Chain A
């Protein structure tokens, strides 16, 4: 498979996953803000932090002397802002632009779905829906992404390109879960005595943001505690948004892309690194007593970022392969 095309597949998967995650996070946060009787800032700022946008966002709000913490403001920024590369609109455009470059690879149905989502988001109808029916606006975006994911599975050959798309999705998702958990955890630990009702509401909203509430209750029948939630989101091997699941599945996709026992194929370093991360997670298998979750999550986020960089260097053709060494 052409390296540039693999790169587009990988990023297509990442942007679809990112779009869905952001849309879900918006709906969940709004519900939380209504239920939990918390300061708006406490509800909304984490959304910005999770997406790595805190400095840019605060600079922007300061420049325009806007509130930095109302829901509308944050939703506007995370949905439409031209200067926010992780806004929903930017992610959908990027997903679509990647898809456009690999139209000969993805199925017509997948292309039409992402193209229609993109065209809708550019239309006045989308603006109106955003103003009039915020929940259904985000729901429509989520469903567009979910339709793409389903069509990928049901209308494409399950061969290399799809494996690159899954690899991108899984790494993006693992990293999203780690960051969203880290931010929430951080916020809660810093508050000395949080009222238990609020704390429970916060953890439940985090679960919902990861579509994890119902699966969690099937595994944990007791109280929703921070440790139980963290344990579930990091280690539950059968939940598709847990870090362990994402890393383990990503490793399986990688093994299809690069059969580990065939000699001379590029990608060995990234594969070894992903393998090590998987082993490291398996080695922990539970949150260490009194252990530092922040450190653990930071390690996950850093490693996934390093693996993505390695992929673009080794597999996506950022450095040309000298032909005389390995030409067939």
Chain B
């Protein structure tokens, strides 16, 4: 049988998501891959072009900062799905819920009694010295009782096929709109293939999010006004902000639309002020409230933090969460899970050297050419040293930076990310490209819920490990298979 996957080569020492070995699909994926491989290269190329055109016309785009004309680009989408087998997902689902629960308890503790610091489970100076630690909200209990309403946990898969947490995002994780839009595109282009595949749906995410946000309102959920707060239409993730507001049927506001009076938040409407109860904010913390963060800034809503501290409004996610997804705090998450939940962590993570610790730092400085070094307060693939690929000059530069400010750096061994077959438009064939996975976890008053799916990001550049959209990454639809009844 001729197949698009006939000449697909997996690479040695790397886990491939769909193929055990060249020509041998993983158990449970045979039928889908046979059907997907049955089209010709011309047909596949045409489908791929159709999908891209549809996304451009619908304005499923992100804005590029570097370009002052506010150019919008389509987030490249690859039509070959990444499939997750049911047993793998069952494990991930439990592990993610466990992790997010522990991170929430950690934040309550840090901004409350600080037991975990007093008992020395996590070094005090590491936590209180984090740039994202917000002393002014010490002892504030947020209305609704939840701090991490929306989490995105980045996972990678090592050569043995084990999922590992690479990074936690508990401030303003983005990308979920592509999960929903990618699915829509796949269903339109491969309707029959999709029907056969028995995959969990993802299009109910916005309604789950709406429920979650209403559940933590300071007022009766049915009477509550929930809004999405965006920095504006030039923000790179503006499409997603408007998408979520539209799908939830709620208002999308900018900070100038809001004002605070008597410690309550109102929006300016054509019929006068209207009180707002829950704000799903997609603005950076630094631009929430100029009274607190940047007195010189025109951005933000003066008095918002006072209103939040009074409990008249819920902010999702809560301010101050950055102390939990700090890259230097990450190595201690398994300890948090043991400490707060009295359980063993279900998810593995990546061994991490914290440069603040003398022994770790010495090791890192001796092994820079083998390690991946990351600045703790940068994201998007910036501020990183990929030791094995770096030049001597780059290594020396990072050595100097680490010595100057050890708190700011961590280091990890480079993990061979798993690959997934991906359409190469130039060579017109399937090629292995590295992927990661960001599942989304919502926490309402009743506890966590994991979306059965997630954003699979793919490094479209051959050999690249960097999957970020700002650096040549694309995305794939993620199919979580249903349990066989």
Contacts and interface: CB of A to CB of B under 8 A. Distances in A.
Contact of B253 (A2, A266, A326, A328): A2
Interface of B: 56-59, 233, 238, 242-243, 245-246, 250-254, 256-257, 259, 261-262, 264, 266-275
B251 A2 contact: yes
Interface string A91-116: 00000010011011000100110011
A114 B233 CA distance: 17
A77 to B, nearest CB: 22
A283 B242 CA distance: 46
A327 B270 contact: no
B266 A320 contact: no
B272 A264 contact: yes
B257 A266 contact: no
Contacts of A257: 270
Contact of A104 (B245, B256, B267, B268): B245
Contacts, number: 91
Contact of B270 (A3, A100, A111): A3
A320 B275 contact: no
Given A5-B251, A104-B245, A327-B275, A115 B270 contact: no
In this complex, the interface size class of chain A, counting residues with CB under 8 Å from chain B, is 35 or more
Contact of B259 (A115, A160, A265, A320): A320
B227 to A, nearest CB: 9
B242 A104 contact: yes
A258 B269 CA distance: 12
B257 A103 contact: no
Interface string A250-275: 00000001100000111100000000
B120 to A, nearest CB: 48
Contacts of B242: 100, 103-104
Contacts of B264: 327
A328 B246 contact: no
Closest 9 CB pairs of A and B: A323-B261, A104-B246, A104-B245, A103-B242, A3-B268, A317-B268, A104-B252, A326-B272, A6-B270
B268 A321 contact: yes
Given A100-B59, A103-B59, A104-B251, A3 B257 contact: yes
Contacts of B262: 323-324, 327
Contacts of A5: 251-252
A116 B261 contact: no
Contacts of B245: 104
B266 A116 contact: no
A248 to B, nearest CB: 21
A116 B246 contact: no
> Looking at A5, A6, A323, A327, which has the most chain B CB atoms within 10 Å of its CB?
A323
Given A119-B56, A323-B273, A324-B261, A103 B246 contact: yes
Contact of A4 (B250, B256, B261, B275): B256
A315 interface: yes
A1 interface: yes
A289 B157 CA distance: 86
28 contacts: A1-B269, A1-B270, A2-B251, A2-B257, A2-B267, A2-B268, A2-B270, A4-B257, A100-B242, A101-B233, A103-B246, A104-B251, A112-B58, A112-B59, A116-B57, A119-B56, A119-B57, A160-B270, A164-B270, A258-B270, A264-B272, A316-B270, A320-B259, A321-B273, A323-B262, A323-B273, A327-B261, A328-B274
A327 B257 contact: no
A207 to B, nearest CB: 36
A104 to B, nearest CB: 4
B248 to A, nearest CB: 9
A104 B245 CA distance: 6
Nearest to A107: B246
Contacts of B238: 100
Contacts of A6: 270
Interface string A107-134: 0100110011001000000000000000
A127 to B, nearest CB: 19
B116 to A, nearest CB: 41
A264 B271 CA distance: 9
Given A104-B251, A115-B59, A327-B262, 12 more contacts: A3-B270, A103-B59, A103-B246, A104-B245, A104-B252, A111-B58, A112-B58, A258-B270, A320-B259, A321-B268, A323-B261, A328-B275
Contacts of A111: 58-59
